[in-house]
Amino acid sequence: MRADDVVIVERPQPGVAQLMINRPERRNALNIEVKTLVADAVEELDADPEVRTIVVTGAGGAFVAGTDVAEMQTLTPVEHTLRVTDRMFTSLRRCATPLVAAVEGYALGGGCELAMCCDLIVAGERARFGQPEIKLGVIPGAGGTQRLLRTVGRYQAMRLLLTGAMIRTPEAFAMGLVSEITPEGEALARAGEIAVEIAAMPPLAVAAVKEVVQAGADVPLETALLLERKTFQILFDSADQKEGMQAFLDKRPPKYQGR
């Protein structure tokens, strides 16, 4: 399999890109090659003004079953540093374009961390989530402890992290880890529909929502509210704000230009 077959990028709809990890024989496990290709693809798509939303998924009925343990077993701390083994997660975390994860099958370890890097998670009803790293003598190293803590709270996070337990989509949804549940096999189609809906929204406002939510999550509430208010006010200088409100008054569809 060629390197460019391992991560497949498509443009299924105007404004929407789809990034698929394609290692079905390994349940799309993340090795350094895959992580590098995903990082490259995400950075390229994020820089493309024609891309308004990115759907992230896996091939063969699985999202990502984890990190490739066979490769990881022999890595030294220095090699982790020199090979920048967390670059993919950094690229996803810094991506300004909304990311929608379409999850079927397993989203474990690095796969669960990958899903949690996204802004929305759409999951088939039989998908499984978990951070089983403790069973390998390590802990999550790409945001698993911190994102779980901030998403599901301390006590549920500790249960999953200390036992390595896997949970199915309905339980993950009840915890707040999943945005929407679909019948098995329909997560990608539904994620695509949501991506199209986001892509049709005014780009400046979409970017502002993502920026304010991310920046405000870990600061005092008063600081976050100030950031929200200032961003709200700034958008009144945009052509999209004028178009959106005028279209509402005219009872017609708006035509946003991203300026």
Q: Report the alpha-carbon distance of residue 209 to residue 43 in Å, rounded.
A: 20
Check: CB of residue 34 under 8 Å from CB of residue 49.
no
Check: CB of residue 130 under 8 Å from CB of residue 164.
yes
Half-sphere exposure (Cβ direction) of 181: Cα atoms closer than 13 Å: 15
Burial class of 209 by CB neighbour count within 10 A (0 to 12, 13 to 18, 19+): middle
Cα 203 to the center of its chain, rounded Å:
18
Extract the runs of DSSP E, i.e. beta strands, from the chain.
Answer: 7-13, 16-21, 53-58, 99-103, 106-108, 120-124, 128-130, 166-168, 180-182
- 10, 104, 113, 228: which is the annotated catalytic residue? 113
Residue 97, beta-bridge partner list: none
Q: Which helix (H) or strand (E) holds 175?
A: helix 169-175
Does residue 113 carry a catalytic annotation?
yes
- 133, 193, 197, 243: which is the annotated catalytic residue? 133
Active-site residues, by number, are: 113, 133
